Structure 1
């Protein structure tokens, strides 16, 4: 049997957020920039800056090894504090350990701007990328893409994402706002902000500064998104960095171990054409960014229908829509069929399960987006085996207080996911799984959390319909206005560190 693919030898080449754990962070900014049109005698100015950025010491763009070391540093400190305080590690509240990490990514327009400044104006082979990765090449903004994803019309997006000038993005996460701001300032200095790059002069509420959108973990509910559910529990794991430790808890889902070629581009990664990808793309990944506004009041009002819909409680109805209780405990595990876990720490670890019946509805968010089935190449969805993404976003906005009337106070998720092929990853999951009312069997309805339908009119969301069996086994229809609204986004490519230095960068 051939050895399983591993990324163990690539930890210094791959950018550090492309991992199940991602950047350790309490605060994160997404800074969007344009590459300025250079003067004739400075044609390759940005490429020079990019090469300098990739070779900085200490590094400003983080590698997987650096991010793993930061997580290990936190883990070691937690163990020490647990011993010192005589309490379990999970109960330790650590003081800030100052740190920050950064990633850089480019849109197709950004790569075209870089290509224009290189001595060989075909060296990046971007025409081949149009064949191998047409979703990335098209971007997220064309009307046909909006129609495919069932996204709102672009004129309803936040002004920042209506801009045609987004060439690149810096994703910087850290232990505090101060650490993130300092890191961003340092990178902008190396990239010669104002000369080689510039801001995108549009905003995205609720971030007051143009050209960026900021997020932070919720102070009183760290790890939870704004509907109140534990987030980021089930992630693809990769050999070479996500090593299973001896005596691993039996609740750990070993089936989440994923071929890295589905997440990180290699010569073997699936593509839409027989044409090979340009070699410089190897060890990179495609990043999908979407700003998702959540209507928390509408979700709370919907789950107040719990008795009418034959559920045990308001929380039980929420679990039927999500597929997990707010603690993270999966509805599909017998102990949690009708009530949440009494131990939130254990609930988050309870991840080794399959869907054997409809206790967890077929349309529930986690079931729509992670099938947990024995799939084959002959599956009715030919992409199903390859539909894997790593999610490393963060909430934004203020917490919902339950009684506000100020419509300017918005909140949601800055969604960021990585995959080696957008068509197989995000696009298939959104279009053919979450939005499709007939996927997976019968007519279960749309994903009630991220499912999308066409808007009724400009700025007015359409209605989703989802189904589940109530406590008496009676099939219930739940129809409601879409709870999550896409406010803008884009497709990016995250190059490897060597590609930044040797292919996109130049002296």
Structure 2
């Protein structure tokens, strides 16, 4: 099997099969399976132009296999194979620090290396999201000056679109060359690792910025949530046989006959053009998304009053799940634990909800994952975490009984991260085409969560909301609410997770 064919695997990867270990040893961790740590640090770097040789050597050392007998204390980029080893023995050793390293297209250009050939990646997030995918592809094919020329051409005639980079906060309005992700379930150990990395790169960089992520306390069922109070990261593609069997066992009954989370490696991996044999990487999207929790709660109250339904059902209509993860397509009340993932919206008599009477057509999870065969190749692999930038260290879990005045309006949100093999086909399709237009059907309207508050869209979006749950006739009411104010996009970027073999060989590139 050649290297490219390997990505289109029909069967899931079996971690007990040693023939996969070389592949996993050369792939960065966190792509095929989440690192599962509680705390994170995203460290953004802009390199000094005069330090190219020293930076190459430093990165190559970080990619080498650890020589420390106590390897969990030795900072090295974590391979997928090392991540598997750490997971197997995590209860018998001190908490280990997980380590990823990513380059932006500007980072590759800093090293005088042509960036991997995803058009959106080469152009960059701020410019790429302004333009339809077919325009990007046409420019990439026809402009002889390459990615830099494409970027300059686009910048020369930029129009206001979904992303207005002028409204991004520091450092996302700057040229970022690399991002390092550190993660640990013990915050003191993570802080020590952060300090070591920042000291290492301080002489080599003119920009060092750190974002701090942390999981919120679990809900009453023990599931992690985000700041609006919903269980998060329930549905993600699965690549390993062992993970699939565990996920199937959580379903009642234990099967995936309506929605199968299996995925081939091609969904998330591409050949690393500079890594040699068994070398793969993945494109990463990062965004800092601020959540206005008070406004979200207020608008839920407005929706509840206008439709004459319970607050709990109004919350479920907006997201597509109740706060405990129960899919609203399956139930008019919460209480399904563990949260099911084996459901769809179309395929049999009970699930067929083409008019959105049990789950509105514009509900967030329905827009982002229509759960139909046609859209399976557009799925993304989410790896984000919540953040809280307030000076107060106390964390909270939003509850119905909480006073609205105590809910935050800023400084909390999600450090959104997702992996994919094609940014335009996956992430940008969700944001530019599905989130704001008529997917899964025409005239559906915008996803109320993804209408970012960046000044480039109307203050409200009109939606068709059911007046009650269920039924076969479209008894609906049209309501306009300013949903775009619940999320503010503070900035982000596109990155690539290179193979370890490329990072080790970086000093050999002229």
TM above 0.5, yes or no, is yes
Query: Cα distance, 1:307 vs. partner?
Result: 4.2
Q: Does residue 270 of structure 2 align to residue 265 of structure 1?
A: yes
Query: Cα distance, 1:260 vs. partner?
Result: 0.9
Q: Distance in 1 between matches of 2:504 and 2:59?
A: 7
1:347–1:390 distance in 2 versus 1, CA, 3 Å: same
In the alignment, which residue of structure 2 is the partner of 1:163?
Answer: 174
Assess if the C-alpha contact under 8 Å between 1:311 and 1:317 holds in 2.
no
Q: Does residue 288 of structure 2 align to residue 283 of structure 1?
A: no
Query: Cα distance, 1:112 vs. partner?
Result: 1.1
Deviations 1:316-344 (A, max 9, x none): 011011000111111112xx2x1101x5x
Taking the TM superposition and a 5 Å limit, the aligned residue runs for 1:116-155 are 124-126=113-115, 129=116, 132-142=117-127, 145=130, 150-155=161-166
Number of matched pairs: 430
Q: Distance in 1 between matches of 2:247 and 2:225?
A: 29
Query: Cα distance, 1:97 vs. partner?
Result: 6.1
Query: Cα distance, 1:36 vs. partner?
Result: 1.4
In the alignment, which residue of structure 2 is the partner of 1:13?
Answer: 26
2:243 counterpart SS class: coil
2:37 counterpart SS class: coil
In the alignment, which residue of structure 2 is the partner of 1:4?
Answer: 10
Among 323, 326, 329, the alignment partner of 2:323 is 326
In the alignment, which residue of structure 1 is the partner of 2:153?
Answer: none
Deviations 1:153-201 (A, max 9, x none): 223221221122x111111111132121222234445xx423333433x
Q: Distance in 2 between matches of 1:114 and 1:331?
A: 50
1:141 counterpart SS class: helix
Query: Cα distance, 1:435 vs. partner?
Result: 1.3
Query: Cα distance, 1:445 vs. partner?
Result: 1.4
Q: Does residue 26 of structure 2 align to residue 35 of structure 1?
A: no
Query: Cα distance, 1:310 vs. partner?
Result: 3.0
1:193 counterpart SS class: helix
In the alignment, which residue of structure 1 is the partner of 2:379?
Answer: 388
In the alignment, which residue of structure 2 is the partner of 1:362?
Answer: 361
1:339–1:155 distance in 2 versus 1, CA, 3 Å: same
1:446 counterpart SS class: coil
TM-score for both structures, normalised by structure 1: 0.77
In the alignment, which residue of structure 2 is the partner of 1:339?
Answer: 333
In the alignment, which residue of structure 2 is the partner of 1:86?
Answer: none
1:161 counterpart SS class: coil
Deviations 1:53-106 (A, max 9, x none): 1114135211112223333445x68xxxxxxxxxxxxxxxxxx96232011101
Q: Distance in 2 between matches of 1:311 and 1:97?
A: 53
Tell me, which stretches of 5 or more residues in structure 2 are unaligned?
A: 1-7, 132-157, 346-351, 391-395
Query: Cα distance, 1:504 vs. partner?
Result: 6.3
In the alignment, which residue of structure 1 is the partner of 2:190?
Answer: 180
Q: Distance in 2 between matches of 1:261 and 1:432?
A: 22
In the alignment, which residue of structure 1 is the partner of 2:63?
Answer: 54
Assess if the C-alpha contact under 8 Å between 1:99 and 1:174 holds in 2.
yes
In the alignment, which residue of structure 2 is the partner of 1:491?
Answer: 494
Taking the TM superposition and a 5 Å limit, the aligned residue runs for 1:415-494 are 415-436=416-437, 438-452=438-452, 455=455, 462-471=459-468, 473-481=474-482, 482=484, 483-494=486-497
In the alignment, which residue of structure 2 is the partner of 1:215?
Answer: 213
Q: Distance in 1 between matches of 2:9 and 2:232?
A: 32
1:212 counterpart SS class: strand
Assess if the C-alpha contact under 8 Å between 1:448 and 1:465 holds in 2.
no
1:395–1:66 distance in 2 versus 1, CA, 3 Å: same
1:167–1:224 distance in 2 versus 1, CA, 3 Å: same
1:195 counterpart SS class: helix
Root-mean-square deviation (Å) = 3.1
390-399 vs 317-326, greater mean Cα deviation: 390-399
2:373 counterpart SS class: coil
Assess if the C-alpha contact under 8 Å between 2:167 and 2:454 holds in 1.
no
Assess if the C-alpha contact under 8 Å between 1:435 and 1:453 holds in 2.
no
Tell me, which stretches of 5 or more residues in structure 1 are unaligned?
A: 78-95, 116-123, 201-210, 268-276, 376-383
Assess if the C-alpha contact under 8 Å between 2:26 and 2:499 holds in 1.
yes
Query: Cα distance, 1:251 vs. partner?
Result: 4.9
Q: Distance in 2 between matches of 1:402 and 1:279?
A: 54
Assess if the C-alpha contact under 8 Å between 2:62 and 2:76 holds in 1.
yes
TM-score for both structures, normalised by structure 2: 0.76
Query: Cα distance, 1:360 vs. partner?
Result: 1.2
1:177–1:352 distance in 2 versus 1, CA, 3 Å: same
Deviations 1:378-422 (A, max 9, x none): xxxxxx342121111111115476454898852111100001110
Assess if the C-alpha contact under 8 Å between 1:430 and 1:451 holds in 2.
no
1:479–1:72 distance in 2 versus 1, CA, 3 Å: farther
1:493 counterpart SS class: strand
In the alignment, which residue of structure 2 is the partner of 1:64?
Answer: 80
Assess if the C-alpha contact under 8 Å between 1:157 and 1:486 holds in 2.
yes
Assess if the C-alpha contact under 8 Å between 2:294 and 2:409 holds in 1.
no
1:148–1:241 distance in 2 versus 1, CA, 3 Å: farther
